[in-house]
Amino acid sequence: MSVNSIICARDLWHKLLAWISERRISTINIDLEEKGDALEYNARTYESRELTYNGKDILKADGEARIDIHAPINCLEELSHYIIDFIRNNGHKYKLIRFSAPQSIIEKYVPPPNACKCSLKDALKYVKDVINQSEADVVNLYLCTAVLESGGFGDNETLLTNDDIEVESITLLDGTESFNKANYVMNLSNAKWAIHIEGELEVDYGNEQVIELNIRVNAPRSLWKLIINNVKRSLDGRKLHVVNEDKELEESIEYKGEEDYEADGVRFVIGPN
């Protein structure tokens, strides 16, 4: 590590911290990319303001900062130390912080993904163990015949498949509205089947709160009965909801109506085309 790279990283981070502190920022996105021989960065903010009146004017401001940094790998490595220290000490002060960097850097700060190449027999045994140890009242089993080629998975989620798994990118997360500490984008090249265990989620249905365990399966229809029966034998009094996502998709494709939607001031139309 050269003295110059340490100085450039330290000075840049101090400058960015001062820039963030001058603004009403609740969400921070930081992306480090190895590129070129010199340090380049771009920092910008997006702010939403809401003015309401209830006897007096109330102004609510909510800002998001996006920081993109391109630099040689040695400078990025040094910079990542400052960023990680900042996240660990100040993450609770923000709604959400996302930090992405080359894998050789960021994998030092996050656990490996919960992903396993295994036989279907071993995968179903793992699913059974998860259900048995779960506090869930309901198990939601989503079945689909589409081949899973890639997807995003949180650090509290599990991917089981017969295929080799490639981690494409890793994002470190923190903040009061972050459900995970890390998110992994993983690619599969030739998966015959894949089981994605999303984990438990507490759902409020108004008159009661229910803990649900979501399991998503991508597999040929010939394997569905085997998978459903294995899950049924693991329920131990829990309710099971089975969702045929192929049917859900078919129904959405067959929809012929036209409806207007409006989001964030942008108007668009969903129709048959």
What pLDDT, in 10s, does the model give residues 120-129? 999 999 999 9
Q: To 5 degrees, how large is the angle CA 204–CA 210–CA 214?
A: 105
Closest CA to 145 of 198, 194, 196, 187: 194
> What is the rounded distance in angstroms from the CA atom of residue 247 to the CA atom of residue 121?
27
158 inside domain: yes
Closest CA to 99 of 69, 78, 72: 69
Ramachandran category for residue 17: left, alpha or beta (phi over 0 → left; psi -120 to 50 → alpha) = alpha
Looking at the structure, tell me whether residues 79 and 125 fall in a common domain: no
> What is the rounded distance in angstroms from the CA atom of residue 208 to the CA atom of residue 126?
30
Within 8 A by CB and 6+ apart from 205, the residues are none
> What is the rounded distance in angstroms from the CA atom of residue 186 to the CA atom of residue 208?
36
Looking at the structure, tell me whether residues 124 and 102 fall in a common domain: no
265 inside domain: no
Q: How many domains does the chain have?
A: 2
> What is the structure's pLDDT at 171?
95
270 inside domain: no
> What is the structure's pLDDT at 272?
32
Q: Of 19-23, 29-33, 201-205, give the range with the top mean pLDDT.
A: 29-33
32 inside domain: yes
Looking at the structure, tell me whether residues 73 and 28 fall in a common domain: yes
CA distances from 113 to 158, 167, 247 (A): 8, 8, 31
Domain hosting residue 57, numbered range: 3-106
Within 8 A by CB and 6+ apart from 172, the residues are 84, 87, 98, 99, 100, 106, 109, 110, 181, 182
Buried b (16+ CB within 10 A) or exposed e, 225-252: eebeebbeebeeebeeeeeeeeeeeeee
Looking at the structure, tell me whether residues 37 and 149 fall in a common domain: no
pLDDT bracket for residue 252 (50, 70, 90): very low
Could you give the 3-state DSSP secondary structure of residue 25? strand
pLDDT bracket for residue 267 (50, 70, 90): very low
Looking at the structure, tell me whether residues 246 and 138 fall in a common domain: yes
**Per residue in 83-97, pLDDT tens?**
999 999 999 999 999
Looking at the structure, tell me whether residues 142 and 35 fall in a common domain: no
What is the average per-residue pLDDT within 33-38? 86
What proportion of the chain, given as a percentage, has pLDDT over 70?
A: 83
Looking at the structure, tell me whether residues 63 and 178 fall in a common domain: no
> What is the rounded distance in angstroms from the CA atom of residue 192 to the CA atom of residue 126?
18
Amino acid of residue 222: S
Instruction: Select the more confidently predicted residue: 158 or 267.
Output: 158
> What is the structure's pLDDT at 94?
93
**Per residue in 64-85, pLDDT tens?**
999 999 998 988 999 999 999 9
Looking at the structure, tell me whether residues 130 and 244 fall in a common domain: yes
260 inside domain: no
Residue found under tokens 């900062």? 65
Within 8 A by CB and 6+ apart from 29, the residues are 64, 65, 66, 67, 97, 98
Instruction: Select the more confidently predicted residue: 25 or 251.
Output: 25
Looking at the structure, tell me whether residues 100 and 125 fall in a common domain: no
